[in-house]
Structure 1
Amino acid sequence: MSEVLSGKIREKTGKVATKEVRKNGEIPAVLYGLKDNLSFSVSPSNLKDILTAKGQNALIDLNLEGDKQRKVILKEFQRHPLRELWVHVDFLEVDISKTVKVSVDVHLIGKSAGEKMGGLVNQVLKSIHVECLPADIPQFVDLDVTKVELDQVLHVSDLSLSDKVKILHRSNEAVVTVHLEKVKKETTEEAVIAEGETAAAEDTSNAKEDSTKKES
């Protein structure tokens, strides 16, 4: 089911016009259509409700005053660097019968066994590129890492998605790795080496003492 977003077509564009839109409490937006592009404005609260409920990959019914209803997805958005405000939003019109390529976030679930042993979890891929019909776009992808041990890797092949969604990555591409931090690893290795050297020195010392006793 699509979410509904209402907007007003903007006749004027440019910095002055977009500044006026923001001053009136709305977000300037651009629709990259199948045949034409449109400048318009939307309500921050309306957009926020949709993204909160369905995420950034929501399929949206865009209703613009004086225009036909269009199926769109969020293409890109810009936020204010200091305040929780949207500065600009771009939408992409889609044909629901044709596939689209989008980016989907990967969410890690649980605490890995390796992390509990002092390991560091490194999420190599925070999002993945997929291709599917607009109605089949996943909100995100969950990846359970609880059983991942030290020096283990989870790959793209470990991701679980619907058969309707094609992942645009190599199956052996790393998504998550778990390993000891370099400093800890070096310290551990140095401790092992030092322990070995101490044991060797003690063996040598004992051998010398035995030799001295025999000579005397």
Structure 2
Amino acid sequence: NKSLRKNGIIPINMYGLGDSISLQVNEDILYKTLKEVGYTTPLKISIGGKEETYTLVRNISIHPVTDKVIHVDFLRVDLDKPIEAQVPILLINQEDAPGIRGGAGVVTQGVYEVTVLAKPLEIPSELTADCSVLEDLEMYLYSKDLDLPEGAELISDEDAQIAWIQPPRVQVTEEEMAATTEGLEEAEEGDEESQDGDASEENTEEDTST
């Protein structure tokens, strides 16, 4: 496999609906194809220029050092049968969310993809979540709020929180920190003086009783 990759050839595997087949493809062609289809668009693979099979990208192996693709798995699919697929979520209209006005917070995304069940040609390339409905810190966008195309069914948890407004973090300035430290020091000095005063009173009482 190393020698193949040095020559710009990437090994791939095609499985499902029959025997598993190991194939090889030009690196440049593979990169271009993966960029176009992602994980949700059916890809037609031709073997020897004759047999054509519809597939979906199922796994992409990346080299831990070079970040280059070293292997790809493709799953054969039947265009007439529904299949589960991971679909990415894209947030839109974040700047129009009423809840962020006046610096009240920022739109935060918690879920980046959901699983849907659909026929291969009906799988959406992405799903959008409209953040303009987030009016305050108490509101959330859930998976069930996503607008799925006809023929697609949500498999993921419908109550998964996709987006919400996160209140800003409280930042303490150097001046505030210095003032807080000074206040603590004064409080400690006051406690010490109070303790010294109590000790003096106790000594005075002892001398008087003697």
Q: Give the TM-score taking structure 1 as reference length.
A: 0.70
- Give the CA deviation at 1:162: 0.8
Cα offsets for 1:99-140 (capped at 9, x unmatched):
110100001112233344241333221100000001111111
1:168-187 to 2 correspondences below 5 Å = 168-181=155-168, 183-184=169-170
The one-letter code of the counterpart of 1:142 is T
- Structure 1 residue 47 and structure 2 residue 30: aligned? yes
Question: Contact 1:30–1:39 (CA<8 Å) still a contact in 2?
Answer: yes
Evaluate the alpha carbon distance shift between residue 170 and residue 56 of structure 1 in structure 2; reply closer, same or farther with a 3 A threshold: closer
Give structure 1 stretches of 5+ with no counterpart: 1-17, 186-216
Size of the alignment, in residue pairs? 167
Give the equivalent residue in structure 1 for 2:130. 144
Identity over aligned residues, as a percent? 26
Give structure 2 stretches of 5+ with no counterpart: 172-210
Give the equivalent residue in structure 2 for 1:160. 147
Question: Contact 1:150–1:179 (CA<8 Å) still a contact in 2?
Answer: no
SS at match of 2:135: coil
Say which of 61, 77, 89 aligns to 2:44.
61
Question: Contact 2:37–2:43 (CA<8 Å) still a contact in 1?
Answer: no
Question: Contact 2:39–2:86 (CA<8 Å) still a contact in 1?
Answer: no
SS at match of 2:133: coil
The one-letter code of the counterpart of 1:32 is Y
The root-mean-square deviation of aligned C-alpha atoms, in Å, is 2.1
1:8-87 to 2 correspondences below 5 Å = 18-65=1-48, 68-87=51-70
Give the equivalent residue in structure 2 for 1:128. 114
Larger-Rg structure? 2
**Distance across 1 between alignment mates of 2:21 and 2:42:** 18
**Distance across 1 between alignment mates of 2:100 and 2:26:** 43
